[in-house]
Amino acid sequence: MENVLKYYEFSLFIKDESSAFHGNEIAFAELNATHFLIFEKKEETYNLYVSKYFHKNEIGVKQPEILELLVDNYDKSIPEHRMAIKQYLN
């Protein structure tokens, strides 16, 4: 998973203080000024979301304007899971 995060230039993990991600750790990649992909680390699993915030400084601090789960329990060995990232970041 570390390779996926580095390859797509996700941020370091931070603790979610907004409760949008249940206090779990999150890492994000910027799609544009207001839209982001977010990985939520939930124990040993990862969930992938697309989200909208007014500014990236709000991630993990405020509730997102839009939050949509793309992949529950992300597994890089599953092609459909890899495509969920590629459709946004490639």
Average pLDDT of span 31-60? 97
pLDDT tens, position by position, 61-76: 999 999 999 999 999 9
What is the domain partition of the chain in residue ranges? 2-89
**Complete DSSP assignment for 4-22:** HHHHTTPPPPEE--SSTTT
Quote the pTM value: 0.94
In this model, does residue 90 exceed pLDDT 80?
Answer: no
Query: Would residue 84 be called left, alpha or beta, if left means φ above 0 and alpha means ψ between -120 and 50 degrees?
Result: alpha
Average pLDDT of span 36-56? 97
Write the CB contacts of 36 (distance below 8 Å, at least 6 apart in sequence). 28, 29, 30, 50, 51, 52, 53, 56, 59
pLDDT tens, position by position, 19-31: 999 999 999 999 9
Name the residue with tokens 């750790």: 25
